[in-house]
Structure 1
Amino acid sequence: MMTIIDYEREPKSDIAFIDMKSFYASVECASRGLHPLKTSLCVMSREDNSSGLILASSPVFKQVFGKSNVGRAYDLPFDIKTRRFSYYNAKKQGLPTDSSYIRFIEEWA
């Protein structure tokens, strides 16, 4: 038997929902004075927690690196500490290692 809910008896309040592209990445960009739709930025968990997870990323980051949210640091073609191209990660993923690709990655990392 289904119980009928009387919504008139429920508490009432106003709630605002904000749908924003890549919210946490946008907040990080704004706090650094960067444009969220023109900046390559990702928000990651600490490395000691599952090798660093990508929690949120800007649209540019997703486009440049082909990554979505919930990726891992070792899936990126650069070292997250130095932002230098990682030959090991690139080779493991079958990515090119020519100088123009390396420049491209290091420019956006």
Structure 2
Amino acid sequence: MKFLTLLQMRRLINLVKNKYFLISMAFLVWMIFFDKNDLFSQYQYHQEVNKLEQERDFYQKETEKVAKDLDELTSNPQKLEKFAREKYLMKKDNEDVFVIVKEKKEEE
């Protein structure tokens, strides 16, 4: 372990006594911990931006998927009929529709 020499100690003490150094350190501490844009807030903003970008990508993919399905339904009558039967339980006049619902087992 090396001890500071007397000359190095004087330089360090002069540096700490320097008003510009003290003001700079106070400003740095203020900006890092107490300002409204401190490091913790910046980290939270960064996390929120990442989360919003992921949500944006998800919704863009879902929008593309729905647009593709809509295009298929409007251009293909067979797909439209299949969609209406599956989702809205529609039927033709001479047909009967039976809906089978599976009961959930109760857990004890």
Fold similarity call, TM over 0.5: no
Higher relative contact order (CA 8 A, sep 6+): 1
| TM bin (shorter chain) | under 0.3
TM-score, with normalisation over the residues of structure 2? 0.23
Kindly name which structure, 1 or 2, has the bigger radius of gyration based on alpha carbons. Answer: 2
Question: TM-score normalised to the size of structure 1?
Answer: 0.23
